[in-house]
Amino acid sequence: MGLEEWSDDFQTSWLDARNVNPTAYTMTLPSSECRRELLVQSMREIDNAQGLIIVTGEFNLNLPDTLRILFETLPRSSYFGKPCAVVCYSPGVSSGRRAGFQARAFLGELSCLTLGTILAIPQVHLAIDTDGICSNMEIIEDLRTLLAELTWFSNALTQYRAMVPPPL
């Protein structure tokens, strides 16, 4: 089961932190104009989002640098009051929870409203195949719960934001 099943319920766009900080994976530094355009596009995506899902692996028991740089680079107003779900994973049994907890704290500092539910996927290489299909029913049910919670908060906050503009 892949995310395509929910595509009718959600309008999604993908923002890869590696695209915002391409120097983390390559020694070729893109032009400053190219970097600026990537940041402007990233900010626009996050500004227009009603909710966010942060997907992170665990890197040396931490959030990956590229994700932290993306969080720190964009203005706090881009994240303010947005409900945010966290999905974390690792090849081991810890399921990336350390990075997931760090993401929640980091997002809270940016004034995101992080959900109480975290989707943690242990041994991701066994849980999700190379086509992105998950056959683990427990993970699928956890994803349904996470999406239902995110949808509820997104709808509630979108309606409230229409009546009362954010204080930033």
pLDDT in tens, 46-99: 888 888 898 888 888 888 877 887 788 888 888 888 999 999 988 888 888 888
111-137 residue pLDDT tens: 899 998 899 999 988 888 888 888 889
Instruction: Print burial letters for 58-87: b (CB count within 10 Å at least 16), e (below 16).
Output: beeeebbebbbbbbebbeeebbbebbbbbb
Question: What mean pLDDT value characterizes the chain?
Answer: 80
List strands edge to edge, sheet with 52-57.
52-57, 83-89, 113-121
Question: What pLDDT is stored for residue 115 in this prediction?
Answer: 92
pLDDT tier at 149, thresholds 50, 70, 90 = very high
- 2 versus 100: the higher-pLDDT residue is 100
- pTM for this model (two decimals): 0.80
Question: What pLDDT is stored for residue 2 in this prediction?
Answer: 44
Q: Count H helices, E strands: the chain?
A: 7, 3
